[in-house]
Structure 1
Amino acid sequence: MEAAIDVSRLEDADLERELRAHGLTLKLSEARRIGELLGRAPTLTELTLFDTMWSEHCSYKSSREHLKRWLPTEGPDVVLGPVEDAGIVRLGEADGRRWCLVIGHESHNHPSQVLPFEGAATGIGGIVRDVYCMGATVVGVLDPLRFGDPRGAEAARSRAIMAGVVDGIWHYANALGVPNLGGDLVFHPGYDDNCLVNVVAVGLVPEDEIVRSRVPAEAATEPYDFILVGKPTDESGFGGAAFASVILDEGVENRGAVQVPDPFLKRVLSEANKAVLAAARAAGIAIGFKDLGAGGIACVSSELAEAGGFGMRVYLDRVHVADERLASRVIACSETQERYGWAVPRRFSPQVLKIYNEDFDLPHVYRGAAARVVGEVTRDGRYTLTRGEDRLCDAPVSVVTSGIRYERESAPRRQEPPAPALDPARDLAADLLALLADPNLCDRSYLYQHYDGEVQGHACLRPGEGDSGVSAPFQSSPLGFAVTCDGNPFYGERDPYLGGALAVCEAVRNLACQGAWPLALTDCLNYGNPEKPGPFGAFVEGVRGVGEACRAIGRLSEDDRGPAPRHPIPVVSGNVSFYNESARGAAIPPSPIVALLGRVPDVSRVPGQQLLAAGDPVVLLGPRAGALGGGAYHRVVLGSAGGALPAPDFARLRAEALVVIEAAQAGWIRAAHDVGEGGVAVAAAEMLLGRRPGALGLGLELDLPAGALAPAAALFDETGGFLLEVAPAHLEEFRARCRAAGIAPVATGRVTADGRLLLAVDGAARVELALADLAAAWQGTLPALFPQSAQAAEASR
């Protein structure tokens, strides 16, 4: 019989010792509250269960009210908002069916700092399971990554973590047969002690085949079983959700909280899952399906039950385990990877077991893997766990899943460092080369080479070929989708609100460059300790920035083209990652990272980023405002983060994006790139270099009007905009469309055939560089930052 812990009678010091002795992160008030809710002393298994379910990772106990207040979640295209494992939006009709996109967005930050390979790999594994469980086929992943300063005091550790994370991502996703559609990579000393590994997965599902993560209503009239599928439960990942909800102390042994990945077993399970879903559809059987992630068996079984309005009884002695000596609380709450939970009618259970255990032969694919009936749905609204005669948990299921709420003190801090002076005598060509060689702006091809962007054969624009990844998933239809990830911590640390708002703005511009109508957004909100007013205030401001940008820019679509949006961009999925702070008190910069999905009506008309034809006009949209604060030029060249940050103009962005999307879909745009980090100068260089630097041997001439701005401010200003190569035959049509939208192109240059970048300001040449010099600066940085590349170079000498 498992002993109970009398949380109501123990003195504070004794209760603290008891909780910490068992590795529990519950606060004393929380432990005592559990006793009040149960009306008795809880068992150790119950305390462990609540430790997981009440963690920030699972309960959103500090963030939920702010997410509900600021983020719009509904819209005409939304099928399922942020209520289950992933969001779902309508894409359109193709191949005779109505199709939806499924998107999930998660973080695996703490595990990746402790064990980079395993942490990143299991991050990919977890997010693809979330999408699979909606009945979808996973058609792409993205990986926004943040690492410490690769040239700072912790350079060796930051580089090693980066190499391990990248290896973990490609090993898992490539083996699973899922293409990489993009992501981004940022270095900042604020990530020295806490890297960020955010992961996004996109899936495709016919609308009539969507599966829900809940016990179906049919369980009210016939018996339903709970079936556990996958690897044998072990102690890997035990306490993982709680581990992600405390300050990271690398001096403490946390490796057991990191799960162990197996992409090859995942691939078999994915095919077997499809067979079960097909069998259920063929028989007209309603089922519930959910992956096992944070909290393991206890979390998934209780959430399936509560979402459907039922109870659940789980028999832990029926669970297939790697070691029979495992403690009951470990079996209940371990986060062993590659597992799923099903709620199915009892009459269907034998067929499910046969598909997994016989047709797909799980026990021989992986030692100890199986599908087993380990529980049953009840109608009493209670959640019980037993092991033999031992009753380990007995509580209302609503109490288990509802979590708790905190009202935190919020005191956001904004940094206002002074702006550095701009020296009119500076060599701006040399400054541009310095920017292109910086780790945050250099060529990402070396990173993309690790990932398989071709598997499944749907790639239209691969990572690095455009501002967004574009996929063409249908055989007989031009319909496709685009997706991008964005977030700039250099803005977030200066102004948390702008960190959130500007991330949404850049994501919209990125999709517009590919002619994609934005459908839905997800966010991963990465911040420090919510118990401190500063980091929590930054979170609140970041959420407000994301939400206000989504509402003000609004939905862009064929039936919503007016200057005032009729609907917001909906936020359909996401994650909050708190406690990204080391034991010495160093918190990450506020880091909201968004992913934006878009619909591409005709993938054959999607422009890429690289300039294509000499003689074509190149048009700049978006006035220059001299916003260099937090930007690359001030930071890299002048060593300062001071100065004015870019000010979002949501109405202008909406108007510009509509023009660009429509022009791209009309076939008027041959190449497109958004103006962001490094301003027009870096955007122009990147359009010349492209994914294949110098392959076309083209050049670019562009003359910018400065107005009252210094030349450097005109060239490197990070106020958002678009740089567009327009087909000559459609230039006047494009200008007319701009006039109709109230937009005046800022400048018009031209593509040349001389392999030179010539940037002038008010008629005076300020940058003149050969394509070869641009490529030399841009290409060499990233490979040298990976430890294995440096070792290989040394060995080859």
Structure 2
Amino acid sequence: KVGFKDLGAGGVACASVELADTAGYGAEIWLDNVHLSMHGLHPSVVLCSETQERFMWVCHPDITDLIIDHYNSTFDMPGVSELARASAIGKIRNDNQYIVHVNGAEIVNAPAPMVTRGFIYDRPVQSPNSVYTEPELPEPEDYNALLLDLLAHENISSRLGVYETYDKQVQGRTIIEPGKADAGVLAPFNDEKYPEEIRHVGIAHATDHNPLYGKIDPYWCGVNAVAEAMRNVAATGATPHAITDCLCFGNPENPEQMWEFAEATRGVADACKGIHLKNNKNYPVPIIAGNVSFYNESKMGAIPPSPIVSCLGRMADVNKAITSGFKEAHSTIILIGERNNELGGSTYYSLFGELGKNIPKPDLAGVEAEIWALTDLIDSGLLRAAHDISDGGIAIALAEMSFENEIGFEIKIEQDMRTDQWLFSQTGGFILEVDNINLPAIISIMSDYGIPVTELGKTTTHQVMVFGSVIHMSLARAKDCWTNGLRDKLK
């Protein structure tokens, strides 16, 4: 058993004391053994420098030489980069003390828990007096034009212009490239040098956030960021395994902006507490890392509260991972989850310069059940495609599913709310493509989890998308808007 951590904030000091204290121990560090790229550095710099691309191991003495040899000989770090190497720089102590030596002198001696506890700020918080309301928009007359505007919007259109600028197949471990599904999927151990039992293990990764939600309610913005990131990895077949967050906010010395930070982080924490590990249902999905960026502001004011969340999912067999594009004509299209009038912070409202009030407020027990049920279905091979519902609502989710293989569809529109609300509300959920023969099994599994299933319609042999009587459009026209929307704005 080993400990392993990257060196970020606080450098050697932070990594070493956190690794030790997390396990209930102390540590002793010898700064003279820390390899440096320049001479004459003050001990505080050596101890706390945040030079990137460094890692720290805590291991049994029996394998210390093995790990050092792995870096210095097998991968020849000294030969790759001058003065780079792996070195033993300390040891674990049983007395919970954190001690640092340099040139024979002891420069730090403190209880490890006191070091990791850090300073607790008690900054004043003040809820802003902002009052948000739902806009009174007339129902659209031309849904075809509206859908094209949404598909071309920079928050919805294809990110291919970004993806194509970097290598997506490094080391040949990419199973699903960015843009092909709601999350990228890798097979990190697909090589004969790894044990057979882990070669097919897959990981999925997605990052999510909607700053417009943060403007309305930072708490629910945090909740939605977690739920959306987890839904995205689940749509490939992976179960959420851990998250990390990137918390970007304004000035914490401003009571209102400090309140935004407190509320958003509370939302992230509550969401993780409310969604548990599928293979260990007594434990919530852990937040294993993160960073905070304050003072993001300009003369125009502070940025919206921005809790950005990345989720890592795991699947036992990466070969079972699925993408979001429709695969065949005559498949059944089903909707997972209920629809609510939750257009606050939506791309639809932004077309009219409106923000709204009713942002999605996901029921965390329901999100957990949907994720567990969906991953059961994918693991059982019962689905052809899956896509989560987020920006742009059901309408955009279905359109995006049709573009990959240019397969059309025809669906009915539920009439328990206004048509634009049903089409574009950003209430979370999933759209699934299924073989008709598998539909009874899917409904049965979803029923076991208490999840409503709605049959929306079918994929077709015609390259046309049909939403009831309100939208009838060629895939070619819609795909062109979606493909070039962001690319045109970046020119």
Q: Considering the TM-score relative to the shorter chain, is it more than 0.5? A: yes
Summarize deviations over 1:4-62 as a string: whole Å, max 9, x none: xxxxxxxxxxxxxxxxxxxxxxxxxxxxxxxxxxxxxxxxxxxxxxxxxxxxxxxxxxx
The amino acid of 1:467's aligned partner reads: D
Matched with 1:491 is: 213
2:418 is aligned to 710
Change beyond 3 A, Cα 1:322–1:603? closer
Shift of 1:513: 2.3
Matches within 5 A, 1:60-209: none
Q: Give the alignment of 1:470-509 within 5 angstroms.
A: 470-472=185-187, 473-474=189-190, 478-509=200-231
Cα separation, 2, equivalents of 1:733 and 1:353: 52
3-state secondary structure, aligned to 1:493? helix
Judging changes above 3 Å, is the alpha-carbon distance between structure 1 residues 660 and 397 closer, same or farther for their aligned structure 2 residues?
closer
Matching of residues 47-66 of structure 1 within 5 Å: none
Residue in 2 that maps onto 1:241: none
Corresponding residue of 1:368: 83
Matches of 1:553 and 1:313, distance apart in 2: 38
| 8 Å contact from structure 1 (residues 320, 372) kept in 2 | yes
Root-mean-square deviation (Å): 3.4
Deviation readout 1:321-376 (Å, 9 max, x if unpaired): 44435445434433333444567899988887777666765444323334566667
Partner of 2:487: 783
SS class of match (1:434): helix
Q: Is the 2:2–2:57 contact (alpha carbons within 8 Å) kept by the matching residues of 1?
A: no
Matched letter for residue 393 of structure 2: G
Following the alignment from structure 2 to structure 1, what is the Cα–Cα distance between the partners of residues 84 and 12?
Answer: 15
Residue 261 of structure 2 corresponds to residue 539 of structure 1: yes
Say whether 1:653 aligns with 2:362. no
Query: What is the deviation of 1:609?
Result: 0.5
**Which letter does structure 1 place at the counterpart of 2:135?**
P
- Give the equivalent residue in structure 1 for 2:182: 467
CA distance in 2, matches of 1:722, 1:378: 50
CA spacing shift, 1:415–1:660, aligned 2, 3 Å = farther
Distance 1:349 1:294 in 2: 25
Structure 2 match to 1:512: 234
Distance 1:322 1:514 in 2: 43
Specify the alignment match of 1:754 in structure 2. Answer: 462
Once the two structures are superposed, what CA deviation does each residue of 1:274-320 show, in whole Å capped at 9, x if it has no partner? xxxxxxxxxxxxxxxx544333344445556666644535355x655
Q: Give the superposition deviation at 1:598.
A: 3.1
2:328 maps to 613
**One-letter identity of the residue aligned with 2:429:** G
Whether 2:481 is the aligned partner of 1:773: answer: no
**Match among 2, 20, 30 for residue 314 of structure 1:** 30
Verify the 8 A CA contact 1:701 1:758 in the aligned structure 2: yes
Question: What residue in structure 2 maps to residue 119 of structure 1?
Answer: none
Alignment map for 1:499-648 (pairs within 5 Å): 499-556=221-278, 567-582=282-297, 584=299, 586-635=301-350, 637-648=351-362
What secondary structure is seen at the aligned counterpart in 1 of 2:247? strand
Indicate yes or no: 2:17 matched with 1:211. Answer: no
> For structure 2, which runs of at least 5 residues remain unmatched after alignment?
none
Aligned to 1:735: 443
Q: Secondary structure at the match of 2:335?
A: strand
The 8 Å contact of residues 521 and 569 in structure 1, kept in 2 or not, is answered as no
Spell out, residue by residue over 1:650-694, the C-alpha distance to the aligned partner (whole angstroms, 9 max, x if none).
Answer: 34434444443333233221111111110111111100113xxxx
TM-score, normalising length from structure 1? 0.54
Letter paired with 1:713:
Q
CA distance in 1, matches of 2:129, 2:243: 26
The code of the aligned residue for 2:321 comes to V
Q: Distance in 1 between matches of 2:59 and 2:373?
A: 50
* Contact in 1 for aligned 2:3/2:57 (Cα 8 Å): no
Mapped to 1, the partners of 2:35 and 2:230 lie a distance apart of 47
Task: Provide closer, same or farther for how the CA distance between residues 665 and 324 of structure 1 changes in structure 2, counting only shifts above 3 A.
Answer: closer
Q: Does 1:682 align with 2:396?
A: yes
**1:699 to partner: Cα distance:** 0.7
Q: Could you tell me how far 1:648 is from its partner in structure 2?
A: 1.6
Instruction: Tell me how far apart the structure 1 counterparts of residues 128 and 484 of structure 2 sit (CA, whole Å).
Output: 37
How many angstroms does 1:501 deviate by?
Answer: 1.5
**Alignment partners' CA distance in 1, 2:312 and 2:352:** 36
Q: Deviations over 1:403-422 (max 9, x none)?
A: 22122323344744332223
Aligned residues: 481
Cross-structure match for 2:410: 701
Aligned partners of 1:724, 1:348: CA distance in 2, in Å?
48
Q: Deviations over 1:737-792 (max 9, x none)?
A: 445554443442111111111112xxxx2111111111111111333455xxx4xx
Alignment of 1:289-304 (within 5 A): 290-300=5-15, 303=18
SS at match of 1:567: strand
Q: Is the 8 A contact 2:240 2:285 kept in 1?
A: no
CA distance in 1, matches of 2:451, 2:64: 62
Whether contact under 8 Å (2:252, 2:295) holds in the other structure is no
User: Aligned to 1:719, which of 405, 427, 434?
Assistant: 427
Name the CA distance, whole Å, in 2 between partners of 1:512 and 1:354: 39
- Distance in 1 (CA, whole Å) between partners of 2:451 and 2:10 is 52
> In the alignment, is the contact (CA less than 8 A) between 2:296 and 2:303 conserved in 1?
yes
* Aligned AA (1:715): L
**Distance in 2 between residues matched to 1:658 and 1:752, nearest whole Å:** 29
Structure 2 match to 1:141: none
- 1:409 and 1:670, CA in 2 relative to 1: closer, same or farther beyond 3 A? same
Report the TM-score, using the length of structure 2 for normalisation: 0.85
Q: In structure 1, what residue type is equivalent to 2:185?
A: V
Are the equivalent residues in 2 in contact too, given 1:415–1:495 (CA < 8 A)?
A: no
C-alpha distance in 2 between matches for 1:552 and 1:304: 27
- 3-state SS in 1 of match to 2:179: coil
SS of the equivalent of 1:749 reads: strand
1:456 match: secondary structure: helix
Distance 1:743 1:300, change over 3 A: closer
Give the SS at the match of 1:408.
coil
Whole-angstrom distance in 2 between the partners of 1:744 and 1:328: 61
Q: State the Cα deviation string for residues 609-629 of structure 1 (Å, max 9, x = none).
A: 001111111112233322111
What is the alpha-carbon distance in structure 2 between the residues aligned to residue 315 and residue 625 of structure 1?
58
Give the Cα separation in 1 of the matches to 2:224 and 2:413.
24
Which has the greater radius of gyration? 1
Letter in structure 2 aligned against 1:663: L
Secondary structure in 2 aligned to 1:452? coil
Rounded Cα–Cα distance in structure 2 between residues aligned with 1:320 and 1:437: 52
CA distance in 2, matches of 1:689, 1:743: 28
Aligned 8 A contact 2:377 2:442 in 1: yes
1:673 and 2:381 equivalent?
Answer: no
Structure 2 residue matching 1:424: 3-state secondary structure: coil
Instruction: Kindly indicate whether the alpha-carbon contact (under 8 Å) linking 1:553 and 1:569 is maintained by their aligned counterparts in 2.
Output: yes
Instruction: Please report how far the alpha carbon of residue 426 of structure 1 lies from its aligned counterpart in structure 2 after TM superposition.
Output: 2.9
- Residue 110 of structure 1 corresponds to none
Letter in 2 for 1:641: L
**Pair 1:686–1:342, CA change in 2 (3 A):** closer
Cα shift readout 1:236-273 (whole Å, capped 9, x = no counterpart) = xxxxxxxxxxxxxxxxxxxxxxxxxxxxxxxxxxxxxx
User: What amino acid sits opposite 2:157 in the alignment?
Assistant: C
Asked if the contact 1:672–1:725 (Cα under 8 Å) also holds between the matched residues in 2, the reply is: yes
Structure 2 vs 1, CA of residues 754 and 553 (structure 1 numbering), >3 Å: closer, same or farther? same
8 A Cα contact 1:529 1:578, kept in partner: no
In structure 1, what is the equivalent of residue 172 of structure 2?
457
